[in-house]
């Protein structure tokens, strides 16, 4: 079974994310800040991480930088999930190694689409979900973000 670490200081967000991701056949572990998430990753790397940006102790950006420096830390698919919606934050997250970026509030459609896009959700799960719901995927265009990186001087 695939594993996903849900990292958010809000227990409500973790609970909602858990329900969505368990429905996609993930085994879920949780952490309420980046430091606890990093400790969990040292014990065993997950297949995916759903990561908040603003948290106490260690924020999501610092966690991601540390994760990517760990042996094997390049393997987990990381989806930032935050209220930070300006281009500079998105560019910074992707530059640090995030695979995708979604905004809060999120729903099952968005989480499913983003996890499908980065790989941990199989076509089988997505096809079943499409048949059960009128589902429209809205992929995140990394070319646009790369252009914005250049525009704001990050690349």
CATH number (domain holding residue 16)? 3.40.50.2300
Q: Please state, in angstroms and as integers, the Cα–Cα distance from residue 35 to each residue in 2, 22, 136, 145, following that order.
A: 22, 24, 35, 28
pTM: 0.77
Give the DSSP letter of residue 74.
T
Hey, which bits of 54-105 come out as E strands? 77-82, 100-103
Per-residue b or e along 21-52, where b marks 16 or more CB atoms closer than 10 Å to that residue's CB: beebebebbbbbbbbbbbebbeeebbbbbbbb
Give the DSSP letter of residue 32.
S
Full domain range(s) for residue 70: 2-152
pLDDT in tens, 89-115: 888 888 889 998 888 888 888 888 888
Axis-axis angle for helices 34-43, 60-69 (nearest 10):
20
Split into its structural domains, the chain has a count of 1
Q: What is the pLDDT along the chain (155 residues), one digit of tens a residue?
A: 899 999 999 999 999 999 999 988 899 999 999 999 999 999 999 999 999 999 999 999 999 999 999 999 999 999 998 887 778 888 888 888 999 888 888 888 888 888 888 876 544 444 444 444 443 334 445 565 556 556 656 55
* CB atoms closer than 10 angstroms to residue 17: 23
């Amino acid at each position: 079974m695939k594993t996903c670490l849900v990292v958010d200081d809000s227990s409500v967000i973790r609970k909602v994310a858990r329900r969505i991701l368990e429905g996609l056949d993930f085994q879920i572990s949780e952490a309420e800040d980046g430091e606890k998430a990093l400790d969990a990753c040292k014990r065993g790397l997950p297949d995916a991480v759903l990561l908040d940006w603003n948290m106490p102790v260690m924020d999501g950006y610092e966690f991601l930088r540390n994760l990517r420096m760990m042996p094997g830390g390049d393997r987990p698919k990381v989806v930032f999930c935050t209220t930070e919606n300006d281009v500079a934050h998105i560019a910074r997250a992707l530059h640090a190694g995030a695979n995708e970026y979604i905004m809060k509030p999120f729903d099952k459609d968005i989480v499913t689409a983003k996890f499908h896009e980065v790989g941990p959700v199989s076509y089988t799960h997505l096809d079943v979900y499409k048949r059960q719901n009128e589902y429209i995927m809205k992929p995140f265009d990394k070319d646009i973000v790369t252009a914005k990186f250049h525009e704001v001087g990050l690349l």
